Protein backbone atom coordinates (compact mmCIF):
# COMPACT_ATOMS: atom_id res chain seq x y z
CA UNK A 1 0.00 0.00 0.00
CA UNK A 2 1.54 3.29 -1.08
CA UNK A 3 -0.76 5.87 0.56
CA UNK A 4 -3.20 6.10 3.45
CA UNK A 5 -5.56 9.08 3.33
CA UNK A 6 -6.92 9.49 6.86
CA UNK A 7 -9.39 11.82 8.49
CA UNK A 8 -11.78 12.49 11.32
CA UNK A 9 -15.27 12.50 9.84
CA UNK A 10 -18.49 14.16 10.94
CA UNK A 11 -20.28 14.37 7.57
CA UNK A 12 -20.48 10.88 6.02
CA UNK A 13 -22.60 12.17 3.11
CA UNK A 14 -19.44 13.87 1.75
CA UNK A 15 -17.37 10.67 1.51
CA UNK A 16 -18.71 9.45 -1.83
CA UNK A 17 -17.47 12.55 -3.65
CA UNK A 18 -14.22 12.54 -1.68
CA UNK A 19 -13.60 8.89 -2.53
CA UNK A 20 -14.23 9.57 -6.22
CA UNK A 21 -11.83 12.51 -6.18
CA UNK A 22 -9.11 10.35 -4.58
CA UNK A 23 -9.60 7.75 -7.33
CA UNK A 24 -8.95 10.43 -9.96
CA UNK A 25 -6.13 12.05 -8.03
CA UNK A 26 -4.23 8.89 -7.04
CA UNK A 27 -4.73 6.80 -10.16
CA UNK A 28 -1.11 5.63 -10.43
CA UNK A 29 -0.63 4.40 -6.84
CA UNK A 30 -2.36 2.08 -4.39
CA UNK A 31 -4.26 3.82 -1.60
CA UNK A 32 -6.70 3.41 1.23
CA UNK A 33 -9.14 5.74 2.96
CA UNK A 34 -9.15 5.53 6.77
CA UNK A 35 -12.09 7.26 8.44
CA UNK A 36 -12.91 7.64 12.15
CA UNK A 37 -16.01 9.35 13.45
CA UNK A 38 -19.35 8.94 15.17
CA UNK A 39 -21.48 8.30 12.07
CA UNK A 40 -21.09 5.37 9.70
CA UNK A 41 -20.44 6.01 6.02
CA UNK A 42 -22.99 4.71 3.53
CA UNK A 43 -22.86 1.01 2.72
CA UNK A 44 -21.44 1.60 -0.79
CA UNK A 45 -18.39 3.26 0.81
CA UNK A 46 -18.08 0.64 3.56
CA UNK A 47 -18.13 -2.12 0.91
CA UNK A 48 -14.99 -0.82 -0.79
CA UNK A 49 -11.94 -2.97 -0.08
CA UNK A 50 -9.69 0.04 0.50
CA UNK A 51 -11.88 1.77 3.12
CA UNK A 52 -11.41 1.39 6.86
CA UNK A 53 -14.02 2.85 9.22
CA UNK A 54 -13.92 2.94 13.00
CA UNK A 55 -16.70 4.43 15.06
CA UNK A 56 -15.54 6.86 17.74
CA UNK A 57 -17.46 9.59 19.55
CA UNK A 58 -14.44 11.58 20.72
CA UNK A 59 -13.26 14.93 19.47
CA UNK A 60 -11.91 15.28 15.89
CA UNK A 61 -8.32 15.49 17.13
CA UNK A 62 -8.67 12.13 18.85
CA UNK A 63 -10.43 10.66 15.80
CA UNK A 64 -7.53 11.77 13.60
CA UNK A 65 -5.02 10.10 15.93
CA UNK A 66 -7.01 6.87 15.94
CA UNK A 67 -7.25 6.99 12.13
CA UNK A 68 -3.49 7.54 11.85
CA UNK A 69 -2.89 4.45 13.98
CA UNK A 70 -4.99 2.35 11.57
CA UNK A 71 -3.09 3.40 8.44
CA UNK A 72 -1.27 0.74 6.42
CA UNK A 73 0.33 2.98 3.80
CA UNK A 74 3.99 3.72 3.28
CA UNK A 75 2.95 7.40 3.13
CA UNK A 76 0.12 9.17 4.96
CA UNK A 77 -2.09 12.15 4.16
CA UNK A 78 -4.15 13.79 6.93
CA UNK A 79 -7.17 15.64 5.59
CA UNK A 80 -10.76 16.66 6.40
CA UNK A 81 -14.16 15.40 5.25
CA UNK A 82 -14.98 18.28 2.86
CA UNK A 83 -11.76 17.96 0.87
CA UNK A 84 -11.84 17.17 -2.85
CA UNK A 85 -8.62 16.40 -4.65
CA UNK A 86 -7.41 17.85 -7.94
CA UNK A 87 -7.04 15.26 -10.71
CA UNK A 88 -3.61 13.53 -10.59
CA UNK A 89 -2.45 15.81 -7.75
CA UNK A 90 -1.84 12.96 -5.31
CA UNK A 91 -0.04 10.77 -7.86
CA UNK A 92 2.06 13.73 -9.01
CA UNK A 93 2.94 14.53 -5.38
CA UNK A 94 3.96 10.95 -4.67
CA UNK A 95 6.08 10.90 -7.83
CA UNK A 96 7.71 14.18 -6.77
CA UNK A 97 8.40 12.78 -3.30
CA UNK A 98 9.97 9.62 -4.74
CA UNK A 99 12.22 11.45 -7.21
CA UNK A 100 13.14 14.69 -5.42
CA UNK A 101 12.79 14.20 -1.69
CA UNK A 102 14.50 12.50 1.19
CA UNK A 103 12.88 10.33 3.85
CA UNK A 104 12.00 13.16 6.25
CA UNK A 105 10.66 15.61 3.63
CA UNK A 106 6.99 16.53 3.22
CA UNK A 107 5.05 17.26 0.05
CA UNK A 108 1.84 19.30 -0.03
CA UNK A 109 -0.97 17.98 -2.22
CA UNK A 110 -3.46 20.18 -4.05
CA UNK A 111 -7.16 20.08 -3.16
CA UNK A 112 -10.28 22.24 -3.02
CA UNK A 113 -12.57 22.72 -0.06
CA UNK A 114 -15.92 21.17 -0.81
CA UNK A 115 -18.27 20.60 -3.69
CA UNK A 116 -19.00 23.69 -5.75
CA UNK A 117 -15.90 25.53 -4.54
CA UNK A 118 -15.84 28.89 -6.33
CA UNK A 119 -12.55 30.31 -5.08
CA UNK A 120 -9.43 30.86 -7.10
CA UNK A 121 -7.24 27.83 -7.73
CA UNK A 122 -3.77 28.47 -6.39
CA UNK A 123 -0.75 28.15 -8.66
CA UNK A 124 1.74 25.33 -8.14
CA UNK A 125 4.14 27.91 -6.68
CA UNK A 126 1.59 28.76 -3.98
CA UNK A 127 1.54 25.08 -2.95
CA UNK A 128 5.33 24.88 -2.60
CA UNK A 129 6.89 25.12 0.83
CA UNK A 130 10.56 25.31 1.53
CA UNK A 131 13.29 26.31 3.89
CA UNK A 132 16.16 28.51 2.73
Percent of the chain at pLDDT above 70? Answer: 81
Q: Measure the CA–CA gap between 56 and 81, rounded to whole angstroms.
A: 15
Q: Measure the CA–CA gap between 50 and 59, rounded to whole angstroms.
A: 24
What is the pLDDT at residue 90? 93
What is the pLDDT at residue 2? 96
pLDDT 10s digits, 35-85: 999 999 999 999 999 999 999 999 999 999 999 999 999 999 999 888 888
pTM score:
0.84
Amino acid sequence: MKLSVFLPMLRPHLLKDMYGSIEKSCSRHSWELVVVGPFSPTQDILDKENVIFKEDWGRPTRAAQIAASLCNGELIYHTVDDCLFVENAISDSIDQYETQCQYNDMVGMRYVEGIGYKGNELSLEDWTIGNN
